[in-house]
Amino acid sequence: MARLRTLRSPLSILDTRTGKALAPVASEQDRKRRLDKTRGSARQRGYDRDWEKLRDVVVIERGCRCEACGIIVVLRKREATVTTPVAEVDHIESITDRPDLRLERSNLRVLCKPCHSGRTARDQGFARG
Ligand SMILES: [Zn+2]
């Protein structure tokens, strides 16, 4: 394995006159990241390790149920099925509006993926916490 890795040189754009590498060819991921610069990475948008830990705790505390439709949800995408969608923890006040409430439990709401994607839940006025 280690040997294979040493054989694989990074792809570069070669300057045809000097034969020197100008820049590594951007991976597809890099390219997408660059295109998506205005949005920033998940981490830059406030979804860091603290958030990842908190979101799991909140889902479990609230009984692994979507707070909008009541369906049982699971923590991980790989555990999800047609009848048990993955849990998504939504910020009631968005991080953009209230960065101070990012890790505030009362500002969080467990939703199933369909409810979260719909975003209509936000306007249906169900109670907090
Ligand atoms: Zn739901």
pTM of the model: 0.60
State the distance from the centre of ligand 1 to the C-alpha of 129, rounded, in angstroms. 15
Q: How far apart are CA 82 and CA 78, in angstroms?
A: 12
State the distance from the centre of ligand 1 to the C-alpha of 70, rounded, in angstroms. 6
Handedness of CA 36, 42, 43, 45 (dihedral sign): positive
State the distance from the centre of ligand 1 to the C-alpha of 58, rounded, in angstroms. 15
70-124 residue pLDDT tens = 999 999 999 999 899 999 999 999 988 999 999 999 999 999 988 998 754 455 5
State the distance from the centre of ligand 1 to the C-alpha of 127, rounded, in angstroms. 14
Q: How many helices (H) and strands (E) does the chain have?
A: 4, 4
Residue 28: the pLDDT is 67
Query: Domain segments of the chain: what residues?
Result: 49-124
β-bridge partners, 14 = 21
CB-count exposure of residue 30 (10 Å: 0-12, 13-18, 19+):
exposed
CB-CB neighbours of 75 under 10 Å: 14
State the distance from the centre of ligand 1 to the C-alpha of 2, rounded, in angstroms. 46
